[in-house]
């Protein structure tokens, strides 16, 4: 046990039925550090957090908090010990105000049973100050980033010693992530210890002091982040080298299937490009550059202002989504939970949602065919599910994405638009999604890939379009020797000096 340890985990094991979720795991969390907990889905991260926070009981082993045995049987007892978890799915009551959400859950009442904001503490008041809104404002009026700040404020006013953040940036903008980092730095400075769970390895290097890697329920290593790099982390988490994450590029690119000329609409203007059969065309750009707006217009969600599109050498003017689907276009949306999956519906219902007309006769769904189609895609994409009648929200992010992808594969599109297809999923699931997308392209499907991750754009794309302020700034071949520099210039709206390799205004 380290002298400066706040939390010491010793020989923790947990089994669920035939699955060994944790196997003899031991490591320490130091006081006042930001400690990243990393691993693929199924590595044991969630189970360990649930044990620490009193949600589930361990089978064996011991946990010490500040040198004393930690005996918590439920989350309330964990909170009494100063252990608080902020999950990806926030627990705020939308109809209540900011102050009510914070105070009510923490019983911050004065003698007259009136909520007293003045009793919340310096850190909470600092977070509320960053919101720049009246504490009486209903939570439902806030954006996701602000709601998360309220959730964190509620957690730290419970005499918080250990704050556990589970995928806190999954739905945040870059600006909101920066604000979260500032809050974490403030809490760390004031002595709060933070366990940080994220699938985004770049965030580990941005904010964490140390990192622990779990794999298949076992402890792999704990190390100082400054002594690690992304290649090492990927290898520790997956057993694969970073260079092996991406499949080989297309061997044969077919004819043009989509020809876009001078296309303009909400958030983009005068866009021109061609998409070929069997090609993965990457769209790189900063947040708000217009990539998603362009693709939603192509899919019939938004109405364009002007321009012309030829799809398979025929005029294409989608007025609604069904027009795009009938024309052979599928779309994986950026926000999987809000726009992609029907979270309260079953895996089977989600799988057949795009082909419901094909399996319906006289208004009655052929459940046998729906089951056959769903199971076929589960097997094809190696999706890990319990029952196809379980709700899709029971699945990990990577398996949710596979179900949404299977929905479009059942529809057999000729063109697939994939908007941030690996956002919020672990590196192992990313590897599988990459293999699936390249396999689809090799079979002749044309794919438009939107990604904010530069390694993903470079590793997956045959050609890259950089988008800046709603316009295409560059079109770059993936074999270009100055590829990274050109992408960097293109997304910033700069030109590229080919002679010296410098980015110039």
Element (DSSP H or E) covering residue 430: helix 427-442
Q: What is the arithmetic mean of pLDDT over 229-255?
A: 87
Residue 418 lies in a domain: yes
> pLDDT value at position 503?
38
Report the pLDDT value the prediction gives residue 7, as an integer from 0 to 100. 96
Range of weakest confidence among 119-128, 167-176, 364-373, 383-392: 119-128
Tokens of 7: 């939390």
Q: Which of 412, 436, 471 is the last residue of a domain?
A: 412
HEC sequence for 188-231: HHCCCEEEEECCCHHHHHHHCCEEEEEECCEEEEEEEHHHCCHH
**pLDDT in the model for residue 106:** 62
pLDDT, one tens digit per residue, over 191-204 is: 999 999 988 888 99
Q: Which pLDDT tens digit goes with each residue over 286-335?
A: 888 999 999 999 999 999 999 999 999 999 999 999 999 999 999 999 88
Closest CA to 491 of 287, 286, 292, 295: 286
421 with 359, same domain? no
Q: Into how many domains does the chain fold?
A: 3
Highest mean pLDDT among 173-177, 196-200, 246-250, 320-324: 320-324
Q: Does 125 or 341 have the greater pLDDT score? A: 341
SS3 content of the chain, % helix, strand, coil (to 5): 35, 30, 35
Q: What is the pLDDT of residue 117?
A: 57
At residue 260 the predicted structure's pLDDT band, cuts being 50, 70 and 90, is very high
| Phi, then psi, of 322 in degrees rounded to 5 | -60, -30
Residues above pLDDT 90, as percent of the chain? 56
Indicate whether 54 and 168 sit together in one domain: yes
**336 inside domain:** no
User: Mean pLDDT over all residues of the chain?
Assistant: 88
Position 162 scores a pLDDT of 96
Task: Single out the residue of 61, 84, 75, 399 nearest to residue 218, CA to CA.
Answer: 61
- pLDDT at residue 23 greater than cutoff 50: yes
Q: What is the dihedral of CA 486, 492, 495, 496, to 10 degrees?
A: -30
Based on the fold, state whether residues 433 and 301 are members of the same structural domain: yes
Q: Looking at residue 56, which CATH number applies to its domain?
A: 3.40.50.300
According to the model, what pLDDT value does residue 501 have? Answer: 36
Taking residues 355-365, report their average pLDDT.
Answer: 86
Domain, as residue range, for 364: 341-412
Residue 120: pLDDT band by 50, 70, 90 thresholds? low
Is there a single domain that holds both residue 275 and residue 350?
no
Q: Which of 412, 444, 475 is the last residue of a domain?
A: 412
Residues 206 and 268 in one domain: no
Residue owning tokens 């859950």: 105
pTM, to two decimals: 0.74
The stretch 480-500 carries a mean pLDDT of 81
Count how many residues are written for the chain.
505
The pLDDT tens digits of the residues spanning 382-401 come to: 888 889 999 898 887 788 88
Secondary structure of 26-85 as H, E, C letters: EEEEECCCEEEEECCCCCCHHHHHHHHCCCCCCCEEEEEECCEECCCCCHHHHHHCCEEE
Q: Which residues are within 8 A (CB) of 426 and not within 5 positions of it... i.e. 6 or more apart?
A: 39, 40, 41, 43, 199, 237, 396, 397, 398
Kindly indicate the confidence band of residue 115, based on its pLDDT and cuts at 50, 70 and 90. Answer: low
């Amino acid at each position: 046990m380290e002298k400066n340890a706040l939390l010491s985990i010793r020989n923790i094991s947990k089994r669920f039925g035939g699955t060994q979720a944790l196997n003899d795991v031991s490591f320490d969390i130091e006081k006042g550090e930001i400690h990243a907990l990393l691993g693929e889905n199924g590595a044991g991260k969630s189970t360990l957090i649930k044990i620490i926070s009193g949600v589930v009981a361990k089978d064996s082993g011991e946990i010490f908090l500040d040198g004393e045995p930690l005996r918590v049987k439920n989350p309330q007892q964990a909170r009494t010990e100063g252990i608080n978890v902020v999950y990806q799915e926030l627990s705020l009551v939308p109809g209540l105000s900011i102050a009510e959400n914070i105070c009510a859950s923490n019983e911050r009442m004065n003698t007259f049973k009136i909520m007293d904001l003045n009793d919340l503490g310096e850190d909470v008041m600092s977070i509320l100050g960053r919101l720049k809104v009246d504490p009486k404002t209903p939570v439902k009026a806030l954006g996701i980033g602000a709601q998360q700040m309220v959730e964190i404020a509620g957690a730290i006013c419970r005499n918080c010693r250990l704050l556990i953040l589970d995928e806190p940036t999954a739905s945040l903008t870059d600006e909101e992530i920066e604000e979260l980092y500032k809050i974490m730095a403030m809490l760390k400075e004031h002595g709060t210890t933070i366990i940080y769970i994220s699938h985004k390895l770049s965030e580990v290097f941005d904010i964490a002091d140390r990192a622990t890697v779990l794999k298949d329920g076992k402890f792999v290593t704990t190390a100082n982040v400054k002594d690690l790099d992304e290649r090492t982390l990927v290898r520790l988490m997956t057993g694969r080298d970073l260079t092996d994450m991406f499949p080989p590029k297309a061997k044969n690119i077919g004819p043009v299937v989509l020809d876009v000329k001078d296309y303009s609409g909400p958030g983009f203007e005068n866009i021109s490009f061609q998409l070929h059969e069997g090609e993965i065309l990457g769209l790189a750009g900063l947040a708000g550059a217009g990539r998603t707006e362009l693709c939603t217009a192509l899919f019939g969600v938004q109405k364009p202002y002007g321009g012309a599109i030829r799809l398979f050498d025929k005029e294409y003017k989608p007025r609604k989504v069904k027009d795009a689907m009938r024309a052979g276009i599928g779309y994986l949306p950026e926000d999987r939970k809000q726009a992609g999956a029907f979270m309260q519906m079953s895996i089977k219902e989600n799988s057949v949602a795009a082909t419901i007309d094909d399996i319906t006769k006289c208004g009655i769904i052929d459940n046998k065919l729906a089951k056959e189609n769903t199971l076929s895609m589960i097997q094809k994409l190696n999706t890990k599910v319990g029952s196809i009648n379980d709700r899709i929200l029971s699945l990990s992010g990577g398996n949710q994405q596979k179900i949404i992808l299977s929905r479009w594969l059942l529809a057999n599109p000729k063109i697939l638009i994939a908007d941030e297809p690996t956002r919020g999923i672990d590196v192992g699931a990313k590897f599988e999604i990459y293999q699936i997308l390249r396999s689809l392209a090799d079979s002749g499907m044309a794919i438009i890939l939107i990604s904010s991750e530069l390694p993903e754009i470079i590793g997956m794309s045959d050609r890259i379009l950089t988008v800046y302020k709603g316009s295409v700034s560059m079109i770059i071949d993936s074999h270009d020797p100055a590829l990274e520099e050109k992408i960097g210039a293109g997304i910033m709206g700069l030109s590229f000096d080919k002679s010296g390799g410098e980015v110039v205004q």
